[in-house]
Structure 1
């Protein structure tokens, strides 16, 4: 499919984000189980619930636009998540793995922030204020998740350094 209009570009971006979020929902429980610190586990599990809400929000946007959000695979997120899964194979359970999990999780958050920021701007320029507001809510959640990971990383990284 050739994208020729901003509307088509917005729909394509939304489908990509929907695929990304669905992939994340499948991976987060595994990451939470692999984390050794309760703070990291809690942060991941809280974001899992938030991510489920983001999937529902994207479905709501699809209803507003009269479009299904299915039909596309976010190859970028697939790669970011595969890279993050390597952490589980390459590190022993413990604080160093937790530090690596945080790094991988923040890559996911930054990828999402880029996508949601762009989609929000596309919606704004198309005069779709309701869609832009929903995307802005998700963008704020992603930024907050990144901030929480940064806070946890300070504790985990310092503890990992002391332990090694």
Structure 2
């Protein structure tokens, strides 16, 4: 699919394309999240990121089931948005010397990723319902709920576990 091609002709094609997009994104995140966890110094942040890698692997498994229910082979398609968010997170991490400030940046960049995933899953659920793919809505909703929970945990680490307070004192 290119910028000047018109490969997406129907809502079904669009749904499948967005499904491939989030599939690619989740796979990229299984590589990126452990790197951020290694950089994190706050124990709650580090543990939360490590835990979310397992969630992400489970989400990929659910997406495999979604593809199967649709009669499709699981595959991803390049997702410039997630690639950009990961690139930005890596660049920011490389510019920060203070570990407390780095933890705050990791939270912020992780939340940007979670918000992207929440948007994608919300749209996929709405489209699945509209297209009559009721058998995949539950799987997509489980992924969405996990992404929302991850975002809430990140907020908790930032606000209640002291990441932002420690970073602001640096």
Normalization by structure 1: what TM-score?
0.96
Matched with 2:100 is 95
Alignment of 1:18-97 (within 5 A): 18-97=23-102
- Tell me the distance in 1 between the aligned counterparts of 2:86 and 2:138: 27
Matched with 2:164 is 157
Cα drift, residue 28 of structure 1: 0.8
Contact 2:23/2:76, CA 8 A, preserved across alignment: no
- Tell me the distance in 1 between the aligned counterparts of 2:24 and 2:76: 8
Q: Deviations over 1:69-92 (max 9, x none)?
A: 315111110001100111221112
What's the secondary structure of 2:8's corresponding residue? coil
Root mean square deviation of aligned Cα: 1.1
Contact 2:22/2:76, CA 8 A, preserved across alignment: no
Gaps of 5+ in 1: none
Normalization by structure 2: what TM-score?
0.92
Matched with 1:114 is 119
Matched with 2:133 is 128
Does structure 1 residue 105 correspond to structure 2 residue 103? no
Number of corresponding residues: 163
User: Structure 1 stretches (4+) deviating beyond 2 angstroms?
Assistant: none
Matched with 1:16 is 21
**93-102 or 11-20: bigger deviation:** 93-102
Gaps of 5+ in 2: 2-6
